[in-house]
Copies of this chain bind each other. A is one copy, B any other.
Amino acid sequence: MEFMYSEKVQALQARVTQFMEEFIYPNETLYEEQLAAQKDRFGAIPPIKLELMQRAKEAGLWNLFLPDSTYGAGLTNLEYAPLCEIMGRSALAPEVFNCNAPDTGNMELLERYGTEQQKKQWLEPLLEGTIRSCFSMTEPDVASSDATNVEASIVRDGDEYVINGRKWWSSGAGDPRCTISIVMGKTNPDAPRHEQQSMILVPMDTPGLKIERMLPVFGYDDAPHGHAEITYTNVRVPVSNVIWEEGKGFAIAQGRLGPGRIHHCMRLIGAAERALEEMCKRVEARVAFGKPLAAQGIVQTWIAESRMEIEQARLLTLKAAYMMDTVGNKAAKQEIAMIKAVAPQMALNVIDRAIQAFGAKGVSDDTPLAFLWVQARTLRFADGPDEVHKAQIAKLELRKYATQKASVN
């Protein structure tokens, strides 16, 4: 056992941190200002983001998430984790490094299951950062915590598939660069429960695909990225657009969510670190009732508990990453479920304390806290609600003794 980051990782941490300090933090406000100045918040990307993306690419801090070394940086999960964490400190950062959801998940999916043609057409520009993508799975009418509930239909008609359904929370669909949607639907309602679904590539400009509205998240529109409600009405795409093959939708979803979940957790740890730092600075500078807030016992308790929760969540996340790298996503199932249940709640706790330390300023946009909190809150159900992960953890835990019992009989 060994708790030091490798030298390779330490060097990368230093480079990412330096980039953050030099380019990200100083431009957070500018980005918001450029966005606010746009007539249509979904109409364009504030130029500073495009400029920073170019810089990151030139600095070689690009596509670090992708374990595949042809397309990506070839880092293991354990190596990527501490870098992803640093990016999570700013809502602006992940995309600057081309490491943002849902594009990362979509790129991994294409890299793993896509045909050569699909890779050429969609994966490569995504890796270049010239286009963006969305992921259309969740539906308003069914509980998507249970993926087999998906009801959109994908029906083969000659050389085409015809897609009908209503999706929402297709995040990223608001981006003017978004040109491709990965849609999950049912190709065969009569197949076994986990083989009814398929995933298919639908270009955003396909007739019948309509963005009905952009959904707010606690008042944030998250522009220009955005969370879209989309209707698919007799949308037709060539059969070659199916990913992997018919009936593999559920399997792909499972595969896609593993890395996606751990990336979210890494970023949440970074968000919590940022919040703790902001809180510490605030309470040292702010005076009430004759002494700095930092001298108050309850504030010290907040800081201590935040540090304790962050450290524990980080170690568990790193261990999950290590296991994914060494024994595989399946054997790491309990660990992945654990961090997905642990990290969002931990981040919410820490950020909420920081907000309280800031008072009214903390709920405005004068600090990054309010938006980080909102992002963390959505992750208590996005990619599976806490309750589903906990049920899974319990099932795996109980199995240890059930097996024992069985072997005794």
- Which residues of A line the B interface, CB within 8 A? 1-6, 9, 78, 138, 140, 143-146, 149, 168-169, 215-221, 276-277, 280-281, 283-284, 286-289, 293-294, 296-301, 303-305, 307-308, 311-313, 315-316, 318-319, 322-323, 334-335, 338, 341-342, 355-356, 359-361, 363-366, 370-371, 373-374, 377-378, 380-382, 385-387, 389-395, 397-398, 400-402, 405
Contacts and interface: CB of A to CB of B under 8 A. Distances in A.
B1 A287 contact: no
Contacts of A307: 334, 338, 393-394, 397
Contacts of A390: 298, 300-301, 304-305
Given A144-B359, A297-B298, A398-B284, A364 B312 contact: no
A370 B308 contact: no
Contacts of A140: 361
A157 to B, nearest CB: 31
10 A-B pairs closest in CB distance: A297-B297, A219-B219, A219-B220, A312-B312, A304-B390, A300-B394, A315-B315, A143-B288, A304-B393, A303-B394
A338 B371 CA distance: 29
Contacts of A293: 143
Chain A contact residues, majority secondary structure: helix
5 contacts: A217-B370, A218-B218, A300-B394, A311-B319, A363-B377
Contact of A378 (B145, B296, B308, B363): B363
Nearest to A395: B300
B393 A2 contact: no
Nearest to A391: B300
Nearest to A342: B308
Given A284-B402, A297-B391, A360-B382, A397 B304 contact: yes
A145 B288 contact: yes
A374 B146 contact: no
B5 A397 contact: no
A401 B341 contact: no
A6 B1 CA distance: 6
A319 B3 contact: yes
Contacts of A215: 360, 364-366
A216 B218 contact: no
Contact of A298 (B168, B219, B301, B401): B301
